[in-house]
Amino acid sequence: MEECQILRLEDFRQRNGKRDPDYLAVVSKFVSENRCKEVPLCYPVGAKLTIGSLEDTEYKDRPAVVNGWGKFYLPKLTKMEVIGYAKGTTYPCDQLVLMTCEDQKVYGFDGDELHLVASSPRQMVTEGIADSASQSYYHGEAFKDMTKEDWSKVEQGPVGKRLEEELRNLVASRKPDFLKNLKIIRQRRRCHQQNGNILPKSNVTQLQKGGT
């Protein structure tokens, strides 16, 4: 099947880089209709694009990583749509997960950094994926220039509230182990205060195992 028949790039609604409110919906539909189809890329030689959704990538069961793509790397919060993954690239990963956003730029995630690999899906297919991205972003880079006022807004916003909730859940999940270890420590202190006895071996073993 010819490349143009597989991709039908006109469906991506090229509009000179301007934001199209319907763009991501069009992309999602396109991906659904062409799922698992493979397209050879012009560069590097041997590289292939496999069209697919997030469920087709190695990150389908890693929501925390996926959630960060549009929030913790780019300067602004960005809604993204996964379009598939590329294999055979020069990036240090087996699957370079590819996604596009409302301005039609294409980003690739290599497991560590988010890379701007093309200005549009059309450019990615016709020119390939360059050895080095025009720009790369590390996790947390979105916050590097934030002021105290900016942080205050984040804390009061949905992202801040979500992080606070995650912290509460983490503390709650570790509370039983913490209380168990605290009980063992208190037993050890009482033992030494009363008669100087050595802590029972079973309790020492519990401490070494983290209270489990």
At 196 the pLDDT is 57
Q: Mean pLDDT per segment of 10 residues, for the chain of length 212 residues?
A: 45 50 86 91 93 95 89 90 95 95 92 93 88 84 76 70 71 78 80 62 56 54
CB environment 100-127: b (16+ within 10 A), e (fewer): bbbebbbbbbbeebbbbbbebbbbbbee
In DSSP terms, 51 is beta-bridged to 84
> How far is 154 from 132, CA to CA, in rounded Å?
32
Q: Which two tokens stand for residue 170?
A: 């983490």
What pTM was estimated for this model as a whole?
0.65
At 76 the pLDDT is 87
At 15 the pLDDT is 47
At 5 the pLDDT is 42
At 150 the pLDDT is 67
CA atoms within 13 A on the CB side of 7: 21
At 151 the pLDDT is 62
Q: What is the DSSP letter of 75?
A: S
